[in-house]
Structure 1
Amino acid sequence: MARPEIPVTLSSSSIFSLPPQHVFGMAEDLGYDGVEIMVTQNRWTHDPTKLDELAQRHSMPIHAVHAPTLLFTQQVWGSAWTKVARSADLARELGADIVVVHPPFRWQGSYALDFADGIRDIMDATGVIIAVENMYPWRVRGAEIQMYLPDYNPIPQDYDYVTWDFSHAATAKMDSLAAIKLLGSRLAHVHLTDGSGSGTADEHLLPGYGHQRVTESLRYIAASDYDGAVCMEVSTRGQKYPGHREEMLAESLAFARKYLARNTPSEGEQ
């Protein structure tokens, strides 16, 4: 029996310079299968009614919600646990499968101490999967600074579910293919992007433009029993002319479709 193809969704952070409602029309026009909404200071990202109306209008389901657990969203939705809980409630109201969260910052002591158990409690209460995203060490003058507790690498941690981001892996100088193999069934969500790994920047390059083993990783995922989505989370801030952003996102989608294809017939079946 043919297995279902893996959905490829578009993160609202990929068009961060535009209001989040633009992601739905762009995803529809380019042929994506859904969207991921990053909760930010923009009120549209807080409102399930408005988001659901957009999803219905454009026939673009919201597959994931990215909780406001970044540095630039520290003022959104109050305390750390409130951010996670409200994100899970929002995802449940929208019918989204996944909430993406970052690991705790080092100054969030009590939150970090109970993090794994706390997200399990919220998952049990809401029925929403919470997948902790891999991050990377911060470096100053060549020295690493521990910004996340217990670590930026989720693989050895007691997390039931993980989101894997190729750009973060590049910055951390990690091998994504090896990591994905180690994660196995704990891999619940993927941020498709790339990175050169040559500096300290989190680049979010288009897939195939960096040095991560993205092609091999996608083929491995396609051959596995993975039943989540792959979300395009790339930077389009370097657009050079009108329509360039759309070209970048269309190229990235074609890349994902090519290497995630599951049911392509063999030569003898064509």
Structure 2
Amino acid sequence: MSLPPRVSAINVFPVKSCGPMALEAAEVAPSGLMGDRRFLVTDADGGFVTGRRIPAMTRIQPHFDGQCLRLEAPGMPSLAVDTDTLAPRYSDVTVWRDTVAAQSCGDDADAWISECLGGRYRLGFMGPQSHRATKGRPDQPLGFADRFPLLGVSRESVNALNDRLARAVTALHFRANLVIDGGEAFQEDGWAEVRIGEAVFEVVAPCSRCVFTTVDPQRGEAAADREPFRTLAGFRRDDSGKVHFGQHLVPRITGTVRVGDCVEVLARKPKPRYVDRMAAT
């Protein structure tokens, strides 16, 4: 008999595509976990840069000391960014089809990220004058996440994927904010609304995956065999060709979530149909 689902890990990614901070508890705001994806790396033209383009970004490790963000990377001195003292200097950046006024983190931060990644890059912040809304939900604020405020992944689903792989991956390959243990693999496909700790979330859509899943989060390198994306495409691809793994969450009631919190399913929905194209192989 499977155990009821509970939160086993909480991850905040202060800088989009960089490394995670593992927390025992986190505050849920309308835009997602506090501190999550509030910073963004862009190129010289303001286009957002992610690990799809530069896998080594995952090796940049963030730490918070109050409002001060500290970044560390192999072979680099640490960088401190105090958001309370940033100059009110904004420039437009693009995240997919969205244009956002991002606050500059300063010349020193731009020089640090440029040296770290080997090019001309900038570090921006979701400052007081920055505004972005969730797609199709103008009243739902959003940071620099791709589409929705949070992402959840079931460890049982990761285990089911690993059963098909020659080389195991971890939940961090999927950059989830909440990792859920217990229950059945892919149970989250049928969730419509869940309560976790003090917060209530709408489970709005499956997460469409890409080659970023092939990046080893510790080594900062993409797998030459395109795994696990290649295997996911064999049994988690919908009729439109999108490959799904994990679920996007939108906060309905904010509050605190903690490791160990039970996931209470408040409403369910029909699970999508995926054809297992690998079943005969």
TM-score range, shorter chain: under 0.3
Q: Which has the higher strand share?
A: 2
Normalised by the length of structure 2, the TM-score is 0.26
Normalised by the length of structure 1, the TM-score is 0.27
Q: Which has the higher helix share?
A: 1
Greater RCO (Cα-Cα under 8 Å, separation 6 or more)? 2
